[in-house]
Amino acid sequence: MKSSSVGTESVAGAAERPTLEWVDDATLPNTLRLPARAGRLLVLNDVAEATMAMPEVAGWLADPDTRVAGGGSNVVFATPRISKAAIIKASGWSAVHRDTGVIELSVEAGMGLDALVRATAGRGWFGLEALAEIPGTVGAAPMQNVGAYGTEIADRTRWVEVWDRRGRRIERFARDACDFSYRSSRFKREPGRWLILRVGLRLSATPPADWPPVTYPGLGEAVGEWSERTGRAPSAMSPAEYAEVITTVRLAKLPDWRGGWPGSAGSFFHNPVVAPEVATRLSRRWPDMPHFDVPGGVKVPAGWLIETAGLKGRREGAVAVSSRHALVLEHHGGASGAEFLRFAELVSDRVEDETGVRLVVEPECVNE
Ligand SMILES: Cc1cc2nc3c(=O)[nH]c(=O)nc-3n(C[C@H](O)[C@H](O)[C@H](O)COP(=O)(O)OP(=O)(O)OC[C@H]3O[C@@H](n4cnc5c(N)ncnc54)[C@H](O)[C@@H]3O)c2cc1C
């Protein structure tokens, strides 16, 4: 069936957009709030124009030593200073509303993911609401295929536009070519190759059949409370109301990434997928161990493993395992990146000693 557009909307990012700006000795934002600076930072609004007009910009971006920075919510700065960085500031977006109820978005990489969730859910568009309160930029979201409460950015992605740092040209990958998987994508698997410029997403003006999704522990309860408080059926929830419920659930267990202490990078370890015989061995010792069959083995929650190793709430100096959510490591101020990582190593070692399972760190460690 052919569809036609019944409306378009464009929301510009910053009012004034110089194509680029160079900043010396720049602070690099990071939600762990570890010391982090770049000797020189290239702030970009228009990569196409900047790379065409100025060969030194293309050279800067093509240099493997230049680090692409986003919001800093999935990185650990192991060293306090790196020499070269680039960041995309452009944060405009546009939407085409089709007569079929489909909304096609094109979003610049510098927009905050949470800001996009609020803007689209606030317009009554369904699709991104489960990703409310995830920090970071739209440009970084396809990197690790961000996801929460059963939705991944891959589920809504139509295309990803990139600047190829090796080929020095703009390319657009259709969703299938992005090779998305759990917390990964082709962009993550080829580190340093792609600068994500823009993401195309598809949302809907009508709710999905299972609306509202409540399959995650704690979420059904929170939706039930919302329904009781408002006197409305859960099925009548707007996407913005659902995003608010998600926000409440998340804030009850995660540090606030917008500011203050402690700093965190969200979930610090991947949930390990172990061989069935390992899961059987663990279940024999801990019959209540939560576990989920997944392709390739059995997924065991890393938070449960950390709690089982007796580390929930454990603090050493300025670094701690959260007492609310064992998968979150907290920085309470004053630690160096190296100290933080030493503590993470200690947690992994203890978990391995106790359970035989080695945890893998989720955020990228920045070393120079
Ligand atoms: C409190 C908290 C809760 C979180 N909850 C979740 C969650 O529920 N689900 C989830 O999936 N994640 C979660 N995260 C992790 C994090 O929010 C995501 O990984 C997010 O996508 C990182 O975005 P960022 O802009 O901060 O990227 P950064 O941390 O700055 O960078 C991450 C990686 O992406 C690269 N990158 C950044 N921008 C670009 C670009 N434009 N082009 C190419 N590469 C780029 C960087 O070089 C780096 O390799 C959470 C983090 C915190 C602190």
Q: Which domains does the chain have, with CATH numbers?
A: 1-17+90-252 (3.30.465.10), 263-366 (3.90.78.10)
Q: For 22-59, how does the pLDDT look when each residue is reduced to its tens digit (9 = 90+)?
A: 999 999 999 999 999 999 999 999 999 999 989 999 99
Residue 105's pLDDT is 97
Half-sphere exposure of 228 (CA within 13 A, CB side): 6
Cα 279 to ligand 1 centroid, rounded to whole Å:
30
CA distances from 135 to 71, 80, 148, 155, 221 (A): 7, 22, 12, 18, 24
Residue 16's pLDDT is 67
Residue 183 appears among annotated catalytic residues: yes
Q: For 248-278, how does the pLDDT look when each residue is reduced to its tens digit (9 = 90+)?
A: 999 999 999 998 899 999 999 999 999 999 9
CB atoms within 10 A of CB 21: 11
Which entry of 91, 185, 264, 267 is annotated as an active-site residue?
267
Residue 14's pLDDT is 61
| 288 burial via Cβ count (<10 Å: 0-12, 13-18, 19+) | exposed
Q: Terminus-to-terminus CA distance in the chain, angstroms?
A: 53
Residue 219's pLDDT is 94
Rounded CA-CA distance 143/154 in Å is 10
Ligand 1 atom with the smallest distance to the CA of 70 is 30
Cα 30 to ligand 1 centroid, rounded to whole Å:
10
Output Rg (C-alpha) for the chain, integer angstroms.
21
Residue 245's pLDDT is 98
Ligand 1 atom with the smallest distance to the CA of 143 is 34
Cα 99 to ligand 1 centroid, rounded to whole Å:
34
Cα 74 to ligand 1 centroid, rounded to whole Å:
4
Residue 368's pLDDT is 81
Pairing state of beta strands 81-88 and 37-44?
A: parallel
Which has the closest alpha carbon to 184: 91, 94, 273, 291? 273
Rounded CA-CA distance 363/331 in Å is 14
**Residue 232 in tokens:** 């409305």
Low-confidence ranges of the chain (pLDDT < 70): 1-3, 13-16
Which entry of 183, 193, 202, 281 is annotated as an active-site residue?
183
Residue 182's pLDDT is 86
Residue 70's pLDDT is 97
Half-sphere exposure of 22 (CA within 13 A, CB side): 10
Residue 361's pLDDT is 94
Q: Which residues line ligand 1 (CB under 6 A)?
A: 31, 68-75, 88, 109, 134-137, 139-141, 143-144, 146-148, 194-196, 254-255, 257, 264-266, 364
Query: Global pTM?
Result: 0.95
Which entry of 133, 161, 330, 362 is annotated as an active-site residue?
362
β-bridge partners, 269 = 361
Residue 5 appears among annotated catalytic residues: no
CA distances from 344 to 72, 90, 331, 337 (A): 18, 34, 11, 11
CB atoms within 10 A of CB 144: 21
